[in-house]
């Protein structure tokens, strides 16, 4: 009886070990800052000297600061909207995801909602083609994402590792909308 008991336990343990070895490991996520510049390259400049596409300014009452973002992924700060310091890095993404290590960053917007900060931003990976328009162009993988932070200056992290929009949709220019207490993301 003891031999049968030990034999059964041994088979059970071997089965567990074998099952664990057949599972494919989860990919390791690599969250990395993208866009902006390192801290030693921060500058102060006047508003009329900034060159920024798709600008968006968040006026944050909590920090008494203005935060300016735009395509390219840089963040600038100001207390008076005349002199701006930056560019700061504020976006982090999983570089092992479809976004890749060097995505294009388009039309970010910063919004405060119920005590948290949200960044609505479009990422484009030119290496991934989702569609082709014959004799015209290749449609690159592009998607609007929502990132979140506890601070207006970031760092902002994706709210989800899952894609919440279809991969074959080329979405862009997301913005925040609230109606009847329900938050929405509106996008093109």
pLDDT digits (tens, 9 = 90+) for 9-41: 333 333 444 444 444 445 555 556 666 555 557
Better-scored residue on pLDDT, 6 or 110:
110
How many angstroms separate the Cα of 43 from the Cα of each of 55, 57, 74? 18, 18, 12
CATH class of 31-186: mainly beta
Tell me the domain boundaries of the chain: 31-186
Predicted model pTM? 0.78
**pLDDT class for 43, splitting at 50, 70, 90?**
confident
pLDDT digits (tens, 9 = 90+) for 131-148: 889 999 898 889 999 999
Number of Cβ atoms within 10 Å of the Cβ of 7: 10
Nearest to 145 by CA among 109, 96, 101, 102: 109
What pLDDT sits at residue 111? 98
DSSP string of 84-110, one letter each residue: EEEEE--EEEETTSTT-SS-EEEEEEE
Mean pLDDT of the chain: 82
Q: Rounded to whole angstroms, how far apart are CA atoms 123 and 183?
A: 21
């Amino acid at each position: 009886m003891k031999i049968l008991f030990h034999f059964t336990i041994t088979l059970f343990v071997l089965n567990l070990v074998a099952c664990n070895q057949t599972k494919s490991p989860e990919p390791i996520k690599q969250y990395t800052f993208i866009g902006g510049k390192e801290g030693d390259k921060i500058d102060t400049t006047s508003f009329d000297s900034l060159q920024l596409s798709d600008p968006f300014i968040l006026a944050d009452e909590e920090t008494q600061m203005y935060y300016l973002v735009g395509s390219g992924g840089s963040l600038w700060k100001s207390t008076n909207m005349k002199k701006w310091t930056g560019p700061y890095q504020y976006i982090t993404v999983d570089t092992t995801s479809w976004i890749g290590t060097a995505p294009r960053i388009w039309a970010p917007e910063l919004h405060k909602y119920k005590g948290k900060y949200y960044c609505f931003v479009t990422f484009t990976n030119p290496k991934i083609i989702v569609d082709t328009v014959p004799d015209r162009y290749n449609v690159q993988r592009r998607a609007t994402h929502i990132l979140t932070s506890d601070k207006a200056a970031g760092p902002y992290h994706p709210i989800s590792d899952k894609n919440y929009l279809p991969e074959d949709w080329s979405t862009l220019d997301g913005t925040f909308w609230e109606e009847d207490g329900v938050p929405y993301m509106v996008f093109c």
